[in-house]
Amino acid sequence: MRQVRIRRLAWKWNFENWDGNMRFQQFTPTAAAWAVFFMSGALMQCAFAQKQPTPQQLAGIAKDAARHFGDDPDNGGPIATDLSYSIKPDAVAKAMRKVADWQLERAHPYFDRIWTWSVLYSGFMAASNSLGDAKYRDAMQAMGEKFEWKLRSQLPNADDQSIGQTYLELYLLKKDSDMLKPTQDALDAILAAPPKGTIPAGKEITWWWCDALFMAPPVWARLYAATGDRKYIDYLDQEWAKTSGLLYDTKEHLYLRDSTYQTKTEANEKKIFWSRGNGWVMGGIVRTLEYLPKDDPARDKYIAQLREMAARVAQLQGPDGLWRASLLDPIDYDLPEVSGSALFTFAIAAGVNDGLLDATIYRSVIEKAWAGILHHVYVDGRLGCIQQTGAEPAPYRATASYTYGVGAFLLAGSEIRKMDHLKPRTGHRGI
């Protein structure tokens, strides 16, 4: 009961007491409560968040480990103390290298084409560009050659399309048609495919789950950039509008994971809005805008939705700078969730860099989030507090680290490093 009271006090605490470097400016009673909570290790070292995993969830965690997506050891070792919470480019680069090198070394023997890997690949591509280090891009080149630049399946769904983001980014750099043709052929087959027969309830649209908006639209936008053919943008805009119409809550300015969550609620009777799911959407918006034509008629709608979601997400940021797995129920999910937090940070930083979000409002959000994330980097480079694969908020260990969370971290760091002068970037941000 005492711990619950501490948590409730902490979540009522005024964020102005927090300076972005995880120090208290004013040691008020509520700040003291949060300090007790922090020092108790509840955020850093507890085995699981307040809820305990079900047998089914434990089986899912074991399956993720068996597929080499990541793991959640009993003891991840000490938290790194050699990283600065500054968002200056050199400080951010040091943290990025530490995490990226740890992940690359342990992951490269198991590279695959499933979405859990493709998000990591996007992070490696961003890190290579940001840090000027070819080794991450070279690893992606070798991966593409290994898989002959093919997607994961025939008539692939959004998840199986996602690896195409990396293939096409490499094509845009090297103009090697071998990198382009398999993805273009697969997406052309989707355009030519006849309507499906029997469609399961809740899956009547192509991108019926919100995660799909990170996985697929950036592929279609990059294919447009590679070919100049507007049919790929037309399809993207058409399908995104369907997903937004079905899943976007215009009052909360957040996305449901899929239509089955329209009536589901948390223990506090509030709607279930999954942090990683909403991070997927915001990340998908900025990665789509990157290659979307400037004159695309849907462009303003994407920007408006990014602004609405960023404002709502900023309101829900925790005192430690991070977000919980369930955005409207931080009490029952007291561990921060790093994959969703990193995706929010990435999207907001990209929005600031592109002049779509106000730096005077969002810089502090980004600073707090980055500092919070770095409190979950271990000495060896492990990035912890990442929820395992799933479709909704669930318990996880503080040590849990998975490939897609690292990809999101590297995307976030790459955008933060561009904020030094807060100049909108040039290049592929709209053609």
Give 352 or 4, the one with higher predicted confidence.
Answer: 352
- Judge if 27 and 67 occupy the same domain: no
Any domain includes 429: no
What pTM was computed for the model? Answer: 0.89
pLDDT over 60 (residue 4): no
pLDDT tens for each residue of 320-337: 999 999 999 999 998 999
Residues in the chain: 431
pLDDT, position 427:
47
Query: Residue 289: which of 427, 399, 187 has the closest Cα?
Result: 427
Any domain includes 83: yes
The proportion of the chain whose per-residue pLDDT surpasses 90, expressed as a percent, equals 82
pLDDT, position 78:
98
**Given CA atoms 115, 121, 123, 125 in this order, what sign does their dihedral have?**
negative
193: DSSP letter: P
Any domain includes 155: yes
- Judge if 22 and 82 occupy the same domain: no
| Rounded mean pLDDT, 97-105 | 98
Name the least confident of 21-30, 119-128, 414-423.
21-30
pLDDT, position 2:
39
- Judge if 180 and 54 occupy the same domain: yes
Is-catalytic flag, 211?
yes
Q: How many domains does the chain have?
A: 2
CB-neighbour burial class of residue 364 (10 A; exposed 0-12, middle 13-18, buried 19+): middle
- E strand map for 118-276: 248-249, 254-255
- Judge if 379 and 396 occupy the same domain: yes
pLDDT tens for each residue of 29-40: 333 333 333 434
Question: How many other CB atoms are there within 10 angstroms of residue 342's CB atom?
Answer: 32
pLDDT tens for each residue of 119-139: 999 999 999 999 999 999 999
| Rounded mean pLDDT, 255-262 | 98
pLDDT tens for each residue of 195-239: 665 667 778 899 999 999 999 999 999 999 999 999 999 999 999
- Judge if 151 and 248 occupy the same domain: yes
Taking CA 22 as the corner, what is the angle to CA 21 and CA 23, rounded to the nearest 5 degrees? Answer: 95
Q: How far apart are CA 294 and CA 15, in angstroms?
A: 37
- Judge if 2 and 76 occupy the same domain: no
- Judge if 252 and 393 occupy the same domain: yes
Name the least confident of 254-263, 284-293, 381-390, 413-422.
413-422
- Judge if 115 and 9 occupy the same domain: no
Enumerate long-range contacts of 58-67, CB under 8 Å, 24 or more apart. 60/388, 60/389, 60/390, 61/388, 61/396, 61/400, 64/116, 64/388, 64/389, 64/402, 67/110, 67/112, 67/114, 67/116
pLDDT over 60 (residue 157): yes
- Judge if 23 and 48 occupy the same domain: no
**Given CA atoms 103, 106, 107, 108 in this order, what sign does their dihedral have?**
positive
Residue-number span of the structural domain to which 14 is assigned: 1-40
The model's confidence at residue 7, banded by pLDDT at 50, 70 and 90, is: very low
pLDDT tens for each residue of 345-401: 999 999 999 999 999 999 999 999 999 999 999 999 999 999 999 999 999 999 999
Any domain includes 146: yes
- Judge if 207 and 344 occupy the same domain: yes
pLDDT tens for each residue of 237-251: 999 999 999 999 999
CB-neighbour burial class of residue 397 (10 A; exposed 0-12, middle 13-18, buried 19+): buried
Q: How far apart are CA 163 and CA 169, in angstroms?
A: 10
- Judge if 297 and 269 occupy the same domain: yes
- Judge if 243 and 351 occupy the same domain: yes
CB 340 within 8 A of CB 316: no
pLDDT, position 273:
98
pLDDT over 80 (residue 428): no
pLDDT, position 358:
98
List 211, 237, 258, 296, catalytic entry: 211
Query: Residue 349: which of 287, 267, 256, 278 has the closest Cα?
Result: 287
CB-neighbour burial class of residue 234 (10 A; exposed 0-12, middle 13-18, buried 19+): middle
